[in-house]
Structure 1
Amino acid sequence: MALRRGSRPERPERPERSARWLAWFAAAPGLAALVGVGATLATVHQAGKQLTLAEEGQYTTRFNEATKNLGAEKRDVAIGGIYAFDRIMHDSEKDQPGVIAVLTAYARENSAVPMTGTFTRLSGRIPELRPDISAVVSILAARPQGKDGRAQVDLTYTDLHNLRLVAYRVDETQNQLTKGGAKPELLHLGPVNLNQADLRFARIVRVDLDKSFLGSANLTCLFFTDTTLLGSNLEGAKLDLVNWLEVKLGDKADLSGARLRGATLEDVDLSHADLRNTELCDTTFKNVNFTGADLRGAKLKGARFVNSTGTPPANSLSCQDWPLPAPITPDGTVVDTQPFTEQSRHAHCKYPVDMQ
C-alpha cells in the first residue's frame, strides 16, 4: 500500500487493550456503587458523632438539673434529684463516678457525724433516718457494678443510724424459703469507706460490703443477716449488742480492738481472725469457728460458746463500763440487765438511754 509523505501507517488495535477497556466499562457501575457506599458510611459516621454529642449534651443537662434539685430547700425536690441521678447512673456509664461523688458528698454534708469522733447521744425511741439520706444509700447499693472507675463510695463521718438496707423483706424471705424459691440477689454497697460512720440500730440484710473499711464505726445494735464483709476492716469498731447471723468475714478478718459486748454471733466464721484486745464480755457465739484466731488480750468475761470450734480458754477479764445503763421503756419500766439476757439486749436496742 502506498503511503503519502508525512503520514503514518494505521496499526490494527491490540486485542488486549480492547479487553481492558471493556473490563473498565463493566466495572464502572460497581465502582460507582462503592463510591456511593463510602459516601453513605461517611454520612452515617458523621450522624453518629452528632448523635453521640447530642446524647452527651443531654446527659450534661440532666446532670445539671439533678444537681439543682439536690440543692433545693424542699426535701421532696432533693429526693427527686437523687432519683434523677439514679437514672443517669444507669443510662450513662461514663457519668457513674461523678454521680457517686455528688451523692456521697450530699450525704456527708447533710447527715454528718461530728469530726470530734463523739457520737450523738440517743435516748428514748430511735428517730428515723432522713429519707433523702436513706435514698442515697439505697441507690448506691443498687448501682451498676464495675462502672465506678476511680470513684470511691465515701461515707466517712456520716450519720446513718437506723438505716434499713434490705434486699428483701424478712416476711417475704420466709415465704420464699418455705416454697423453695431462690433467694434474691445481694445489694452491693461495698467497697465503701464507713470510717467513723454512725450505723447504730441499722438493719442490713443480704448486702455485699466486701473490701470495706468500718474502722471506728459505731455499729451498736446493728442487725446483720446473710451479709458479706470479705476483706473488710473493722478495727476499733463499736459492735455492742449486735446481732450477726450468717455473716461472712473471710480469712484473717481484722476486728482488733473492736467492742462486741453483749452481742450474738451465729454461723459466723472467725477462723484466723485478728481479735486481739477485743471486748467480748457477755457475747454469745453459736456455731462460730475460732480455729486459728488471735485472741491475745481479748476480754471474755461472761462470754458463751455454743457448738463452736476452736473456742478460746475462759478468762475473767472484764470490759470497761459494762453493762450499759438499764434502758427505760415508754411506760417508765426499767429493764433489769442483771443477769444479762437476750430479752434485755433487745430492750437496750429498742429503748436506749444515753447510748454512745
Structure 2
Amino acid sequence: MAGIATALAAVGALWFNGKAMEQNGEQLEMTRQGQVTDRFSKAVDQLGDDSMDTRLGGIYALRRIAQDSPRDREATVDVLTAFYLAHDTLAKHGTPSGHGTPADRRTVSGDGSVVCEVGALSKIARDALATLNALMELVPLERGASEKAIKDFELHGNSALDGPDMSGTYLSGIRIPPSSGLFVRADLRGVDLQGARLDGVNFGAASLNSADLSCAYADSADLQGVELDGARLDEAELRGARMPKVALDVQARRAILTGADFHGRSFSGIDLRGSTLNRADIRRADLSDANLRGADLSDADLRGADLRGADLRGANLKRARLDDVKWAGARTEGIRGMNLPKT
C-alpha cells in the first residue's frame, strides 16, 4: 500500500506541476500579448506624428510586430496599407510637390516617344517608401505557392492581397521584389512606374490601364492577367515577359521584348516602332494594324500571326518563322531578311 500511495503522490505532484506550468505559460502569453498591444498602439500613434523620423519609427515598429507576432500580421498589414494609401505625400493623380511633371523628368523625342533618363531616381517620400517596403516583405507571393494556398490567405481579408487602390500614384523608380504579392489584383490605373524595377513581378489580375511604365525594367514579369489598355511602355525592358491576352492602344516604342510571350495575344494597333522582339513567341497573335516599323523580329516565331494592315517597313525578319502569317494590307517596303509575298 505504501508503494501505491507513493506512486499516487508522485502522479499528483506531476499533475500539479504540469498545471502550474500551464497556468504560468498562459500568464506569460497574456503578458506578451499585452506588450504587443502596447507596442502596436504606440506605433499607430507615431504614424500620425508631424515628424518624419517619428513616422518612420512607427512604420519600422509595426514591421517588427508583424514579424514577431504572426497573429497580429493581418492587422499590421491593414494599418500599413491604410497609412500608405491615405497619408503618403505622393499627391495621387499628380506628382509630388516640387518634383515637376513627368515630362520634366524625361526627354520626349520629336515623334512623341520617350527617351529614358539614365540613373533617374525615385522621388517617393521616405515614409511612403518605408511603408511600401514593409508591405512588400509582409505580403509575399511565395514561389511555387499553390493557387489554393493563395486563395486561403486572401480569405482572411488581407487588404493588400485583395488588391489595394493605388490608381494615379507616383512610384517612379521604385524597386519591387519578385517575391512580393502586393500588386496582385491591385488597382494601378494611371500609376507612374517610370524606370521602376519590376523584374519577375507577378501582377496577377492588376489593372494597369493608362499606366506609365516607360523605361521600366520588367524582365520575366508576369503580365498575362493584367489590363493594359492605353499603357505606355516606351523604352521598357521586358525580356521574357508574359504579356496580357488582350490590350488596346498600347505604346511601346523602342521597348526591349526579347523572348517575350505574345502567343495567342491580341495587341491590335500596338505601337512597337523600333522595338526589339527577337526570339519573341508571337504565334497566332493578333498584331493587325500594329506599327512595327523598324522593329527587330529576327528569330521570332510568328507562325499563324495576324499582321494584316501592319506597318513593317524596315523591320528585320531574319530567320523569323512565318508559316501561315496573314499579310493582307501590310506595308513591307524595305523589310530585311526575307522576301515577302506581294500584298
* Equivalence for 1:315: 309
**Structure 1 residues 276-315: aligned runs within 5 Å:** 276=268, 278-295=270-287, 299-302=290-293, 304=295, 305-310=297-302, 312-313=306-307, 315=309
C-alpha contact 1:286 1:308 (8 A) present in aligned 2: yes
Query: Does residue 1:57 correspond to 2:34, yes or no?
Result: yes
2:133 to 121, 135, 138: 138
Q: Say whether residues 1:70 and 2:35 are aligned partners.
A: no
Deviations 1:298-332 (A, max 9, x none): 532526223211254263479xxxxxxxxxxxxxx
Task: Judge conservation of contact 1:283–1:303 (CA < 8 Å) in 2.
Answer: yes
Q: SS of the residue aligned with 2:217?
A: strand
What corresponds to 2:124 in structure 1?
A: 129
Query: Residues of 1 paired with 2:58 and 2:215: CA distance?
Result: 29
For these two proteins, the number of residue pairs brought into alignment is 271
Write the mapping of 1:128-167 to structure 2, written as runs, cut at 5 A. Answer: 128-143=123-138, 145=140, 149-153=156-160, 154-157=164-167, 159-165=169-175
Alignment partner for residue 194 of structure 2, among 186, 196, 201? 201
Give TM-score scaled by structure 1 length: 0.66
Q: Residues 124 and 94 (structure 1 numbering): CA distance in 2 closer, same or farther, change over 3 Å?
A: same
Q: Is the 8 A contact 2:171 2:196 kept in 1?
A: no
| AA matched with 1:99 | T
Superposed CA offset, 1:170-189 (max 9, x none): xxxxxxxxxxxxxxx84554
Match of 2:326 in 1: none
CA spacing shift, 1:273–1:214, aligned 2, 3 Å: same
Equivalent residue letter for 2:18: L
Aligned to 1:106: 83
Which digits, 9 at most, give the CA deviation of each residue in 1:236-257, with x for residues without a partner?
251331422334427xx33422
Which of 92, 97, 102 matches 2:69? 92
Amino acid at match of 1:292: R
CA contact (8 A) 1:142 1:189 kept: no
Give the corresponding residue for 1:322. none
Q: 1:189, 1:208 within 8 Å by CA — same for their partners in 2? A: no
Q: Distance in 2 between matches of 1:197 and 1:219?
A: 7
Which structure 1 segments of 5+ residues have no match? 1-21, 168-184, 319-356
The Cα of 1:228 is off from its aligned counterpart by 3.1
TM-score by length of 2: 0.68
Counterpart-to-counterpart distance in 2, 1:301 and 1:246: 17
Find the aligned partners of 2:139 and 2:20 in 1 and give their Cα distance.
34
Q: Matches of 2:126 and 2:200 in 1, distance apart?
A: 19
Specify which of 249, 252, 257 is matched with residue 265 of structure 1: 257
2:14 is matched with which residue: 29, 37, 55?
37
CA distance in 2, matches of 1:136, 1:150: 19
| Structure (1 or 2) with the greater strand fraction | 1
CA RMSD in angstroms, aligned pairs only: 3.1
Corresponding residue of 1:330? none
| Amino acid paired to 2:64 | R
Could you tell me how far apart the structure 2 residues matched to 1:199 and 1:279 are? 20
Cα separation, 2, equivalents of 1:166 and 1:156: 14
Alpha carbons 1:187, 1:206 under 8 Å: kept:
no
Residue 281 to residue 114, structure 1, CA distance change in 2 (3 Å): same
* Higher-Rg member (1/2): 1
Q: Is the 8 A contact 1:107 1:155 kept in 2?
A: no
Q: How far did 1:197 drift?
A: 4.9
Residue number in structure 2 paired with 1:235: 228
Quick one: higher RCO (CA 8 Å, sep 6+), 1 or 2? 1
CA distance in 2, matches of 1:49, 1:231: 49
* CA distance 1:217–1:189, change in 2 (3 Å): farther
Contact 1:235 1:256 in 2 (8 A): yes
1:338-349 aligned within 5 A: none
Q: Percent identity among equivalent residues?
A: 18
Give CA-to-partner distance per residue, 1:29-85, whole Å, 9 cap, x none.
111111111111111111121222222222211111111111111222212211112
